[in-house]
Amino acid sequence: MKKVDELPSELLALHRQGETPSENWLTGAEHELLCVTESGAAPSFEGDRGIEQVLRGICEEVKGLHPVLETGKLIGLKGRGGSVTLEPGGQVELSGAAHPDVHRLAAETSCYQTALETVAESLKLDFFAMGVRPVLPVSRIPRMPKARYRVMEEVMPTLGARSLEMMFSTGTIQCNLDYSDESDMALKYHCGALVSPILTALVANSPYQEGRRTGLMSTRQAIWDQTATMRSGRFEWMVENKLTYEDYARFAANQPLLFRKEGDQWGRADQRSFLDHLRSGDVQTDDWELHLTSIFPEIRLKHMLELRGADAGTGDLVIAVNAFWTGLFYDHEAIKTVLDHLDFIQPDQWERLAQACQKDGLAALVKGLPPVRELARMTVQHAKEGLKRRAIFNEKDEDESIWLRPLEDFLELGASPAELLVARFNDDALAARSFLCGTVQHSPWLA
């Protein structure tokens, strides 16, 4: 990665502060769900059956959550070590607490989704899990009243052609994991970059957009590829196995500043980089963490690693994706063995792999590489072995590998959720959405 002059040490401090001894490593899940009304519209924020009422209902159902207000409007919830947030198109996101094991992460996910189902039923709304809204165009999705999103809606189209689709139409599963030091971060980042397209293929869940098939199994991934080409998606340095804190910080610091926040006020920044703003005194190092949230590589580094390559899915898949990354990253033998299998992949092959996985899901084939279905089976097996070696048991004396069963089931079926949707519904995006509506906790394919 190109280096110019030395970065302020304060920009590296956040990454160093994230260093955590292995005995204290935690796993945190984030996931988004989409929503429609009885008529098939996207709900507005206001009204008796609006998204604000969803947040109020969750706050009542889940003890320990507290309202987050902006200009007097309820825009989120905080508490219990996590948060419930409102995304630009009314997607509801749970950013869970960080947990020492997948069992507790699973319990939290189930608690939240049970509450959401109760609230949705009372409001006659349907939540569903897909990587992209399958029917409604961006123009028909009501805007949420968050000042940051108003600024982003103005700025993001200047950075990439599909940025508004990303903001208003997509849903993701994210896994947040710790690292012990810079070399451990680099190892995990490298492994994560190589494995991420394979996981994308396994849990692909967005074959429709605006009422028709897109020809892709993960349309969400294609949208992210064209969201902000200089600051989102995949970059060759991600698979070079020598990433440093300074490398990542330099990449982020040289991106244009998207917005400014002074007190409660949000405003658009000019197109100078964060580093240029810092040198001129327009921002402070305290603004750095906020800026990092506006950088969107498939794996994001802050004070933890954020793995962002999976389409939104039902609760069992949210847990499975987090179990998968935990098993690989928190067991030295697992991560080493997977890298032994994948480390030969060159950057150009990696990009072809990513493109093939978003297009064909588990059926993807790339010249010079094993079939993606075999790669997925290999990585899931090593994640399972890693979880077994962790030997963390629940009250039924089951280890964490039980949470990988949905991934194993899709491998047994030989198809991702998206491939199964297309096989059953072909071009009928509306029927596919109806099939998924109301199935928040458990995949209908695995019932």
User: In this structure, what token pair is assigned to residue 271?
Assistant: 């197109």
Classify residue 4: in a domain, yes or no: no
CB 315 within 8 A of CB 321: no
Mean pLDDT check: name the lowest of 26-30, 106-110, 266-270. Answer: 266-270
For residue 4, pLDDT over 70 is answered with no
Instruction: Report the run of H or E that residue 99 belongs to, with start and end.
Output: strand 92-99
Report residue 191: phi and psi, to 5°. Answer: -65, -45
Give the model's pLDDT for residue 265. 85
In a domain, 236, yes or no: yes
**Over 50: is that where the pLDDT of 312 sits?**
yes
If one counts the domains in the chain, the total is 1
What's the full length of the chain, in residues? 447
Whether the per-residue pLDDT at 320 is higher than 60: the answer is: yes
For residue 5, the model assigns a pLDDT of: 66
pLDDT score for 264: 81
In a domain, 272, yes or no: yes
pLDDT tens column, 189-239: 999 999 999 999 999 999 999 999 999 999 999 999 999 989 999 999 999
Where residue 119 falls among pLDDT bands split at 50, 70, 90? very high
Inter-residue contact 109 to 315 (CB < 8 Å): yes
What distance in Å separates the CA atoms of residue 203 and residue 369, rounded to the nearest whole number?
20
In a 3-state reduction of DSSP, which class is residue 402?
A: helix
Strand 92-99 to 208-209 pairing: unpaired
- Indicate whether 125 belongs to any domain: yes
Give a yes or no: residue 3 inside a domain. Answer: no
Residues 307, 299: Cα–Cα separation, whole Å: 5
Range of the domain at 69: 10-446
Interhelix angle 182-202/332-342, nearest 10 degrees = 60
Residue 26 contacts residue 178 (beta carbons within 8 Å): yes
- What pLDDT is attached to residue 2? 43
pLDDT at 1: 47
Q: How confident is the model at residue 17 (pLDDT cuts 50, 70, 90)?
A: very high
Q: Is the pLDDT of residue 284 over 80?
A: yes
DSSP secondary-structure letter at 367? Answer: T
CA distances from 289 to 159, 224, 336 (A): 21, 21, 31
* Dihedral in degrees, nearest 10, Cα atoms 208, 441, 60, 145: -20
CA distances from 182 to 17, 141, 143, 188, 204 (A): 11, 42, 40, 10, 31
Calculate mean pLDDT across residues 108-134.
98
Helix (H, G, I), strand (E, B) or coil at 243: coil
CA distance linking residue 273 with residue 293, whole number of Å:
15
- CATH number of the domain encompassing residue 188: 3.30.590.20
pLDDT, position 340: 98
Mean pLDDT of 74-96: 97
Q: Across residues 83-92, what is the average pLDDT? A: 98
Torsion angle defined by CA atoms of residues 39, 41, 44 and 47, in that order, rounded to the nearest 10 degrees: 0
In a domain, residue 1? The reply is no
pLDDT recorded at residue 262: 82
188 falls within a domain: yes
> Stretch 57-76: mean pLDDT, rounded?
97
Q: Rounded to the nearest 10 degrees, what angle do helices 102-123 and 315-329 cross at?
A: 160
In a domain, residue 2? The reply is no
